[in-house]
A and B are shown apart, each in its own frame.
Chain A
């Protein structure tokens, strides 16, 4: 059974700082790894999807890496801004479904 863990559970940083969010999964037989952003009480916005054959994906200030052998993914956010404040969820895609971690709640202070 796939289990996904995210560390840290919460993170508070000043504006401009670079930061790393961590995600680990127990079963390396995944199709891909997807990172989402969730604002309070809202749905999920897909940020990056890394296919199982890929090592990383980049979009603007975001970079996500995937190491299937160690069961880890990281989301790097460069030059953080107050608008980045949200909960970030990672999800491992198996057959039919996504298995989510419990998220990292990020607060970026001006």
Chain B
């Protein structure tokens, strides 16, 4: 069984640029959630995708957007990057027999300069 993977592991961008982060869900899972974790804080829910549709959204502006593909992998896109977007971005997949338990990937560290 393959776990949740994310790419890239690290990324440095300039304020105003756009970024795309990728996540492959665990085998058998049809739901992907994205979280932002600022330094010293707990992760904050960005949004969730279920069977290619957005299925809930946290308190993040529209410049945070996402996609889920037929194989249930997912992308997080952030436009017009701001310095405060610097964080660890975590992807979690769920579904299958343990539908409520979320399994996290290793994260992507985004630095905005």
Contact = CB atoms under 8 A, between A and B. Distances in A.
A11 to B, nearest CB: 16
Contact of A31 (B42, B56, B100, B109): B100
B105 A43 contact: yes
Interface stretch (A59-67, A70-78, A92-100): A92-100
A98 B45 contact: yes
Contacts of A46: 101-104
Contacts of B104: 36, 43-46
B55 A100 contact: no
A100 B33 CA distance: 14
A97 B6 CA distance: 19
Interface centre among A4, A45, A96 (most CB of B within 10 A): A96
Interface residues of B, number: 26
Contact of B90 (A32, A43, A51, A99): A43
**How big is the A interface, by class?**
20 to 34
Interface centre among B41, B45, B55, B109 (most CB of A within 10 A): B45
A91 B102 CA distance: 11
A12 to B, nearest CB: 17
Interface in A23-53: 31-32, 34, 36, 41-46, 49, 51
Interface of B: 6, 33, 35, 40-45, 48, 55-56, 58, 88, 90, 92, 98, 100-107, 109
